[in-house]
Amino acid sequence: MRRAVVAAMFLIPFLFLGGTAWVLFAPQGEDPAATLMEYDFGGDFTLTGTDGEPASLSDHRGEVVLLFFGYTHCPDYCPTTLSKLHEVYDLLGEEGEEVVVLFVSVDPERDSPERLGAYLDAFDLPVAGLTGDPAAVDAVAGRYHAFHEAVEQPDSAAGYLVDHSLYLYLIDRRGRLRQLFRHDAPAGRIAATVRKLL
Amino acid sequence: MLLRTCGRAALAAALLAAGACGAGAAGDGPSAADGGAAVFAEEAWARASLPPHDAASAYLTLRNPGAEDAVLVGAECAVAAVAELHVMEVDDATQRMRMRATDAMTVPAGGRLVLEPGSDHLMFFELASPWEAGEEVAISLRFADGSALELGAVPVRAPTSR
């Protein structure tokens, strides 16, 4: 019994040191990837690119696409999402070369191709902006179950703001929707899931 | 050129105001301009505006060590004609984001109010000129009790900051 106590007294400091070393030097675990899914919604669409020419999801066959809906009068959430995507690209490194971001405007009446292009150019990202006829944008949003609604703001200089859903859609090389990320999904989880499609 | 011309006067005023009650120039120490709410700010920063530079946002944490709630009722900025308090809500089930201007935000007694990206924030419209990373802007916060908190030199960070 006494021997066991003495042994424990010797062992405890080593266990403590080992635990400390583990905490200090263990590899930082990357966020686990989300499961890839199959959905019965989503699909190809054509809107107008920032050059004023027709632009389709299918232009990006062979690439992995991260799609989201936003608008340029949104100076908070949309830059925050684009900033997170920056982090995703940093995590992907060279693998990110086969990944493209599509930003579909849910405010096509104010987001002309030129305005959208200038806004997105401020981010050092491979991002393609799409806008177009409001009815066409509505149809695309509907196919992705992306809610959006312009709400007049009598108390704000913004004129109107657009309530919209914040999902980030992961689309594989064949144009199929494979996962939806919530607005608070960490960049590491997004990068790890993208990697499963590369 | 860190501050726009019209911002310099505001900065000077802010420095005077801050100096008058012995607080730091950046407004990051206890600093109630006229002995009102003892609310102080930390980690204030603004996001660089994006083309066509018609709006910008700023973020900070307000701490209230006092025994009474402090109510933020407005903001002013020398380089923006309009400043608003915006609250953002996200519905968990639908991920629907809803952003609205509000006329009051409470900094609870003994607590804090966090304004951060993707959440509640200060929003500025009608900018005097683009807000560019590396610059500083002067922001003044107004409270319901009539006090003000002057943030003399809020750093402007790159659009991709979070």
pTM of the full structure: 0.80
SS3 category, A151: strand
Q: Give the pair of three-digit tokens for residue A64.
A: 């992995």
Is the Cβ pair A166, B97 closer than 8 Å?
A: yes
Other CB atoms within a 10 A radius of the CB of residue B52 amount to 12
Tens of pLDDT, residue by residue over A41-56, are 999 999 999 999 999 9
- The label of the residue with tokens 């002995």 reads B35
pLDDT reported for residue B11: 42
Which of the 8 DSSP states describes residue A34?
A: P
Does A83 contact B160 at a Cβ distance shorter than 8 Å? Answer: yes
Which residue, B99, B148, B101, is CA-closest to A166?
Answer: B99
DSSP category for residue A31: P
**Structure letter (DSSP) for residue A94:** G
C-beta of residue A112 within 8 angstroms of C-beta of residue A131? yes
Closest by CA to A26, choosing from A14, A36, A18, A37, is: A18
Q: How far apart are CA B70 and CA B64, in angstroms?
A: 7
Residues of B numbered 89-108 whose beta carbons fall under 8 angstroms of chain A's beta carbons: which are they? 90, 94-101, 103
Chain B, 33 to 92: residues with Cβ < 8 Å from chain A are 47-52, 54-57, 82, 84, 86, 88, 90
* Whether pLDDT at A10 is above 90: no
Give the nearest partner residue to B123 out of A75, A80, A82, using CB atoms.
Answer: A75
Q: What angle do CA B97, B98, B104 make, to 5 degrees?
A: 135
What is the Cα–Cα distance from B33 to B21, expressed in whole angstroms?
7
A29 pLDDT more than 70:
no
* % of chain B exceeding 90 in pLDDT: 70
Q: What is the pLDDT along chain B (162 residues), one digit of tens a residue?
A: 444 433 444 444 444 443 333 333 344 444 444 445 589 999 999 999 999 999 999 999 999 999 999 999 999 999 999 999 999 999 988 899 998 999 999 999 999 999 999 999 999 999 999 999 999 999 999 999 999 999 999 999 999 888
Identify which has the larger pLDDT, A157 or A23.
A157
3-state secondary structure of B142: strand
Shortest CA distance to B151 belongs to which of B25, B39, B64? B25
